[in-house]
Amino acid sequence: MRLALLTIVMIAALGLPAQAGTDFDCFVTPQGETRCACEGDDSCRAMDNSKACVTDPECDDGELGVMICSCKATPASRSDH
């Protein structure tokens, strides 16, 4: 599960703009599923508050030094934040 979450977040990170703050990204996986991902408490709180997720965010335990979360999203959620 952690490997899948990490893979999804790494794919999302490739499309994230290089900026700090409370950003999260929604994207389509290679399997055609729309997902959102975030890194850090502020960004994940912003993602959760945005209502872009249709599932509860799945988060790691922060063992990489920062919390990383992702969730399943509606196709309409696919955009830059």
Tell me which of 4 and 51 has the higher pLDDT. 51
Average pLDDT over residues 61-74: 90
- Could you give the CA distance from residue 81 to residue 77 in angstroms, rounded to a whole number? 10
* pLDDT of the residue at 10: 55
Which of 24, 16, 15 is CA-nearest to residue 70?
A: 24
pLDDT (tens digit per residue) in 9-32 = 555 554 444 344 468 999 999 999
Predicted TM-score (pTM) above 0.75: no
* pLDDT of the residue at 57: 92
Which of 14, 12, 26 is CA-nearest to residue 77?
A: 26
44 within 8 A of 67, measured Cβ to Cβ: yes
* pLDDT of the residue at 35: 95
